[in-house]
A and B are shown apart, each in its own frame.
Chain A
């Protein structure tokens, strides 16, 4: 398979994730859509790594996975803290920082 096919799949997944971040109001689903975007970037990185026959892109993808795991941990911690404080789990309701 030509590398371009993988890049097309990656672009589609990234777009779907971006649309989800923009349209969904549940912060859990927003985090899931962020995961989609990071994974699309991972797919592109590994496709380019294969294209050049060079392992650097795979290392980059592994580091991206580490960063995604950290982001998920902290994001889910924030959601649990919101739940503990009886705040609504809805990004539209959380606008106290709005100017």
Chain B
């Protein structure tokens, strides 16, 4: 029974991976990756990693892929609609040659290493293996430092993503800053927050679409018409 399940999930995972690489439309590539991740979660279940399988489905196939779908549909309506395909010519042949060599090398390293345990089913059955209780105990005792480091990494990534993808204030008149709430007194100018855009829209100053005198931060985006419309 486990064999049938393994081959279904394994073929699904490999087919999903091939789909990600070959499909031209990046939206379908994301959907192929979702299928791949679900098959991979089934493989994790076969390996008795219940908690990791659940996290894979919820965090990866759920949250991260939603982020992907949003960005794909956001980027798709720009002036560069023609999505670039694969490279061509000699570089492509070289890339595939490298991939085949890599596959052969990995197979030799993993299957031809002569380790006896690789040919067996693994360790004997332990009812507590892979449960959330076991994982949580390990995370909070033996692996406390990696756990904390990972949480800091997540914080840094969240801040970095906001800084990278923020609106750089165009269409906002720096001379006209109405104080509507206490936060307006402490907020710096041109942070690209939603509040600034709202103020730019409600202000009685120059029209929103007119290019306001901009600081060094936003001048390169002053001519970007799409920004002003927000």
User: Which residue numbers of A lie inside 8 Å of B, CB to CB?
Assistant: 1-20, 22-26, 28-29, 31-33, 35-36, 39, 42-44, 46-47, 49-56, 58-59, 61-63, 65-74, 76-81, 83-86, 88-92
Contact = CB atoms under 8 A, between A and B. Distances in A.
B189 interface: no
A4 B110 contact: yes
Top 8 nearest A-B pairs (CB, nearest first) are A53-B123, A77-B164, A70-B157, A20-B21, A19-B99, A11-B106, A22-B95, A25-B84
30 contacts: A7-B110, A8-B107, A8-B111, A9-B14, A10-B110, A11-B106, A15-B102, A16-B14, A16-B20, A18-B99, A19-B95, A19-B98, A20-B20, A22-B87, A22-B95, A23-B87, A32-B20, A32-B30, A36-B17, A46-B49, A53-B126, A55-B135, A58-B138, A65-B60, A66-B153, A69-B59, A74-B160, A77-B160, A78-B164, A84-B221
B146 to A, nearest CB: 6
B106 A46 contact: no
A61 B84 CA distance: 32
A66 B47 CA distance: 21
A19 to B, nearest CB: 4
Interface in B74-94: 74-75, 78-80, 83-87, 92
